[in-house]
Amino acid sequence: MQFIPAGTYYARAKVGGKSIRVSPDTDVYSTARLRLPDKLKELRKPVAEVGTFGQGRIKYEAETRNGYTSKKKRLIKLAPLSITGELLPESETRFFERMSAMPFTGSRNDEGEVTRLTVEFSGETFSYKKISKQPPKGYEPPKPPVIVHLDTNVLDACLGDYEFSTGIKATMWRNGDQMLWQVRGKKVIPGPFSVYPESETNFYLKLSGGQLIFIKNEKGEVTAVNVHDPWMPDGVGKKTKNE
């Protein structure tokens, strides 16, 4: 059995007659590894490396000057933004992701070299062209945060509405001891999502791995929040209303 070699890929797809290029952001790759499933153990093949897929955000660029279209937004919604998992082989060129059963197919040229990977996801097909033969560094999962317990009066200082220069608006509120974060705007996942404190000003979004860093003035009042989240653009949101 031959395995797909590791490398770097980008995708190109056509939606509504428009050509969309999908390119990974810098330093967001991981190399997936293959482990033979029970039904293929009789082949006695060793663990092998297979293609490179994004671990983190993927940037979408439309080859048009007309801006974002509804078709493009649909592609962004359906595309597999982040893939981290174990790929199992079904044949020399076909694999599936163990948890989601998402299929991956490798295409070879006349010399037998793998040049492209095709991913079937949510009824759409995404073709990833191989542009490098060098495998990236293995993915290092982030260290889990240390969650701390804070008094409600400390938590309440962060509650309120925040507005970003991009037009995105967000709200932080509390339900008992649970802090919640909700975003409103274009190209964001609204939530709400649970938020956990790491300190009096640093909070952690468990689902996305994002961070909220609240900024205080000289009086100790929260006036803004600095967001680092793969599910929305990074930026500073100014507090517009105190709770």
Q: How many domains does the chain have?
A: 2
Longest dimension (CA), the chain: 70
Is residue 171 included in any domain, yes or no? yes
Is residue 2 included in any domain, yes or no? no
Q: Are residues 70 and 156 in the same domain?
A: no
Q: Are residues 100 and 167 in the same domain?
A: no
Please list the pLDDT of the chain residue by residue as tens digits (243 residues).
233 334 443 444 333 444 444 333 322 222 222 232 333 333 332 222 233 333 222 222 222 223 333 333 333 334 444 555 677 888 888 888 777 788 888 888 888 888 888 887 766 788 888 888 777 676 677 677 888 999 999 999 999 999 998 889 999 999 988 999 999 887 777 778 899 999 999 999 887 788 999 999 999 899 999 998 877 778 899 999 654
Please give the pLDDT value at position 213: 95
Q: Are residues 78 and 167 in the same domain?
A: no
Nearest to 99 by CA among 40, 50, 35: 35
Q: Are residues 20 and 48 in the same domain?
A: yes
2 φ, ψ (degrees, to nearest 5):
-105, 140
Please give the pLDDT value at position 9: 39
Please give the pLDDT value at position 242: 52
Residues in the chain: 243
Note the pTM of the prediction, 2 decimals.
0.45
- Domain endpoint, select from 98, 132, 166: 132
Dihedral over alpha carbons 63, 69, 75, 81 (to 10 degrees): 80
Residue 156, SS3?
helix
Please give the pLDDT value at position 122: 62
Is residue 213 included in any domain, yes or no? yes
Q: Are residues 41 and 124 in the same domain?
A: yes
Residue 23, SS3?
strand
Is residue 85 included in any domain, yes or no? yes
Q: Are residues 182 and 115 in the same domain?
A: no
**C-alpha–C-alpha distance, residues 77 and 1, integer Å:** 35
Q: Are residues 116 and 181 in the same domain?
A: no
**Bridge partners, 96 (sequence order):** 88, 103
Please give the pLDDT value at position 192: 87
- Domain endpoint, select from 97, 132, 167: 132
Please give the pLDDT value at position 133: 78
Is residue 169 included in any domain, yes or no? yes
**C-alpha–C-alpha distance, residues 173 and 154, integer Å:** 13
**C-alpha–C-alpha distance, residues 21 and 58, integer Å:** 11
Q: Are residues 91 and 191 in the same domain?
A: no
Burial tier of 235 (Cβ tally within 10 Å: 0-12, 13-18, 19+): middle
- Domain endpoint, select from 76, 103, 132: 132
**C-alpha–C-alpha distance, residues 99 and 46, integer Å:** 21
Contact 203, 211 (CB under 8 A): yes
Is residue 179 included in any domain, yes or no? yes
3-state SS record for 65-134: CCCCCHHHHHHHHHCCCCCCCCEEECCCCEEEECCCCCEEEEEECCCCCEEEEEEEECCEEEEEEEEECC
Is residue 147 included in any domain, yes or no? no
Q: Are residues 128 and 12 in the same domain?
A: yes
Is residue 181 included in any domain, yes or no? yes
Q: Which domain holds residue 24?
A: 8-132
Q: To 5 degrees, how large is the angle CA 98–CA 99–CA 103? A: 55
Summarize pLDDT for 97-121 with one digit per residue, the tens: 777 788 888 888 888 888 888 887 7
Nearest to 22 by CA among 1, 53, 65: 53
